[in-house]
Amino acid sequence: MRLRPPSPICDDAEFSEDGKRRYWLSRHVAPSGPVGLYLGLNPSTAGADRDDHTVRKWSGFARRFGWTGYWVGNVSTHIEPHSKKLKQLSQAELVGPDDNAVLEALIAGADHIVLCWGNGIPSPILWRANEVLSLVYARARPSAVSMFGLSKKGQPVHPLTLGYDTPLQGYYPPPERASRRDSE
């Protein structure tokens, strides 16, 4: 398994052998610029050469941000088009043994990180979102982490219904999520 997409960035994805997990997805959108990372909730139908609505939206935002391309990582790598069904999965189904290593590699290689898993996160798996935030703040500059806003439920907004003029906002974790990097 490839922990991180090949460089230079291209249209690609990495799946588990059984096809039940997508570890990462990447898209090339411009000849030059920084690399972004979107952290969503879970993979849907997109693959190496197949886009879904969310990937098309992320590509539009990436062009607006001036990125050469982006990677996608997820709170859960389990492929499920209906996020409400995630609460029916066991912890082992939600989070595979390689998931954190993949996220760590993506976080380390990204110039910009956008949290965007939305309100679809079932409350039984909020623990995983907090775990992902801990990975982000242990390995990323806080100034590199942003979001499109917070939902009424306090989750980073998903971009699917947003206009391309929506600005990114900084994301500041509560003190218990802060890492030693916050002082850098």
> Is 95 domain-assigned?
yes
Residue 65 neighbours by CB under 8 Å, 6+ apart: 36, 112, 168
Structural domain tally of the chain? 1
Q: What is the pLDDT of residues 151-178, one digit of tens each?
A: 888 899 999 999 999 999 998 664 454 4
> Is 7 domain-assigned?
no
> Is 134 domain-assigned?
yes
Q: What is the pLDDT of residues 128-140, one digit of tens each?
A: 999 999 999 999 9
Residues 134/139/143/149 CA torsion (nearest 10 deg): -40
Q: What is the pLDDT of residues 39-92, one digit of tens each?
A: 999 999 999 999 999 999 999 999 999 999 999 999 999 999 888 889 899 889
Strand ranges for the chain from DSSP E: 12-15, 22-28, 35-40, 69-74, 112-115, 145-147, 169-170
The range of the structural domain enclosing residue 42 comes to: 12-183
What's the pTM value of the predicted model, to 2 decimals?
Answer: 0.92
**Taking a C-beta distance cutoff of 8 angstroms, is the pair 159, 57 a contact?**
yes
